[in-house]
Amino acid sequence: MKIERVYKMTFASIYPMYVQKVERKGQAKADVDTVICWLTGYDEAGLAAQIEKAVDLEMFFAEAPQMNANAARIKGVICGIRVEDIEAPLMQKIRWMDKLVDEVAKGKAMDKILRS
């Protein structure tokens, strides 16, 4: 899949997949919201507004109130690629979000997921 195509995917189309993934593994939707809000600075209302507006991923991250200062501490492999080695800033943010949701699905402790 071309990078530009990924950027144009709507957050509203990806969010339900994140929720399904964690719920299948016995985790809560609220945890998905927690990690996404931690990463992007959105609050619950802001997150819901982005879903309702059906913004693409590029706009979702462009409008993010404030990326978390600890986001750079997110390390590991997602889709066979180390997230810390991704050079395209927007793709790295997308993969950070994927990694956080992955960690929720695996049942990792929230304080470890949030790098606190």
Q: Residue 61's pLDDT is what?
A: 97
Both tokens assigned to 25: 């593994």
Find out whether 62 and 68 touch, Cβ atoms under 8 Å. no
Q: Residue 3's pLDDT is what?
A: 67
Q: Residue 4's pLDDT is what?
A: 76
**Superfamily name with CATH number, domain 3-110:** uncharacterized protein sp1917 domain (1.10.8.290)
Both tokens assigned to 38: 């931690």
Give tens-digit pLDDT for 57-82: 999 999 999 999 999 999 999 989 99
Among residues 83, 35, 43, 88, the alpha carbon closest in space to that of 63 is found at 43
Identify the segments of the chain with pLDDT beneath 50. 1
Cβ partners under 8 Å of residue 94, min gap 6: 6, 57, 61
CA distance 69 to 67: 6
Q: Residue 108's pLDDT is what?
A: 96
> What ranges do the domains of the chain cover?
3-110
Tokens 């695996």 locate to 106
Number of Cβ within 10 Å of residue 65's Cβ equals: 10
Q: How far is CA 94 from the centre of its chain?
A: 6
